[in-house]
Structure 1
Amino acid sequence: MGLLGKKFPAPVARPMAPFYVAGLVILYGVNSFANTLASTDEYKNDPRNPGAKSVPNGGH
């Protein structure tokens, strides 16, 4: 007997496929919405914005 016990031939990926797809769709939507909000005039030059065009301070 292995460390995890007996293996059962239960399908996992096929019944869960709609949930995986839905999760990817939600992640894509949240990412595109966050990118849209980060490119607005209010947050375009915010130093916390990872896409802001900032000049490095000559350090590392």
Structure 2
Amino acid sequence: MAFLGLRKWPTPVLRPMAPFIAASGITFYLVKTMQDFGVRSETYAKDPKNPYAAQIAREAHH
């Protein structure tokens, strides 16, 4: 018998979605890493339009 549309055993959500959750985490990490490499490359590290230029300059002195 369903009580307000709820079943006795809930429909699995996490297990079928696990590969997608893992792939999302890996993709997020890889995109973040590639962005950091791009921002810190020689071409853009000293560009005044780079919002991280001051932080990169501070780290270069250490």
Same-fold status (TM-score > 0.5): yes
- Within-5 A mapping of 1:17-56: 17-53=18-54
| Aligned-residue identity in percent | 36
- Within-5 A mapping of 1:5-16: 6-8=5-7, 9-16=10-17
**Corresponding pairs, count:** 50
Greater helix content: 2
The 1:40/1:7 distance shift into structure 2, 3 A limit, reads: same
Root-mean-square deviation (CA, aligned residues, Å) is: 1.9
Distance 1:47 1:11 in 2: 51
List gaps (5 residues or longer) in structure 1: 55-60
TM-score normalised according to structure 2 size: 0.66
Distance 1:46 1:7 in 2: 58
